[in-house]
Amino acid sequence: MTATKGLEGIVATTSSISSIIDGVLTYRGYNIDDLAVHASFEEVIYLLWYGRFPVQSELDQLLRDLSESAAIPSELVEQMRLYPTGTNTMAALRSAVSALALYDETANEMSSEANFRKAIKLQAQLPTIVATLSRLRAGLEPIAPKSGVSIAHNFLYMLNGEEPSELAVKALNQALVLHADHELNASTFAARVTVATLSDIYSGVTSAIGALKGPLHGGANEAVMVMLEEIGSFDRVEDYVQTKLDNKEKIMGFGHRVYKGGDPRAKHLQKMSQDLSQLQGNTELYDMSVRIEEMVTGQKGLKPNVDFYSASVYTILGIQRELFTPIFAISRVSGWTAHILEQYENNRLIRPRAEYTGLTNQKYIPIQNR
């Protein structure tokens, strides 16, 4: 047996949910470019779960189900109040989602119907948890979710306590669509490994959040914003980036293991960053990002991935950077749950082997002779 580091290029399972073929990302066969421009996030959720787009009555029912499930247990809110000050937001989200299972009497029911209901709960409640965590950290009281509005609208409302603008909702909706699924990425694989043991859906999503927390996965967008804050202004971009390049230091938000010709999602967030910047009347963050891209792509041939421009989009929307990765989770839980449901339908325990590189032929020596 010969190991493949990072399982790169290894085909570990079959799936009909999303694909990346010749640099083109599709959900259920629909090109991400088409979905990013035209689809609502709720339509994409339905598509990922059921394999097709809903008709209007089905979409209306999904919206009702999500609205009815969006409130979180009051006991969980009280738990979150006790989280230590300064707790990493993804660590807090991981703990809160794990705790959700304690308040769901059907948590361990494994019927298809029960698991679909739990998928709805998880999709509906993650935005509420993230908004609640943010407000509690700021010393503010949580805001109850609204009924009859989209997930993007509801999240911004619960976060800020005021009705969001149409463009803000459009921007967040597009970001949620773009992040919804991505074939067998690290967090999705973690979720499938967990539920392949026939553990419950909450455990699968908790595992996925743990994987997403890392800076080489979901945490990259937060790292991009840290870099932009360190640079501070457009006139400092070239010196900062050139120093990084000369020292062969990693610049976050560039390159992707799967996309060699560039991440197809990045251009949509770049356009949204530009539009939001111009509407705000301050294009410095966008201009800084464009100049960084020109230098990194020009000198290293690396192109921006989905994380790079999402950082400026979220910042222009007034979202604090510690929420960037949790927002990724709000979107990706749609894909995680789709993959979990698919894993349950045709399950086999995921148990790969390892190439052993340690010592051999060792003999036990009594302790007095060592």
The CA dihedral of 154, 156, 161, 162, to the nearest 10 degrees, is -90
Q: By three-state DSSP, how is residue 8 classified?
A: coil
Catalytic residue among 256, 263, 268, 339: 256
Known active-site residue 256: yes
Catalytic residue among 181, 200, 263, 307: 307
Compute the half-sphere exposure of residue 191: CA atoms within 13 Å on the CB side of its CA.
30
Largest Cα–Cα distance in the chain? 78
Nearest residue to 15 via CA among 251, 335, 360: 335
**Residue 180: burial class (beta carbons within 10 Å; 0-12, 13-18, 19+):** buried
- Integer Cα distance of 354 and 249 in angstroms: 31
Give, as one character, the DSSP assignment of residue 108. T
Contact by Cβ (8 Å): 158, 125: no
Report the alpha-carbon angle 332-118-347, nearest 5.
80
- Integer Cα distance of 198 and 66 in angstroms: 25
Which helix (H) or strand (E) element contains residue 21?
A: strand 18-21
Pairing of strands 30-31, 18-21: unpaired
Known active-site residue 307: yes
Q: Could you give the residue numbers annotated as active site?
A: 256, 307
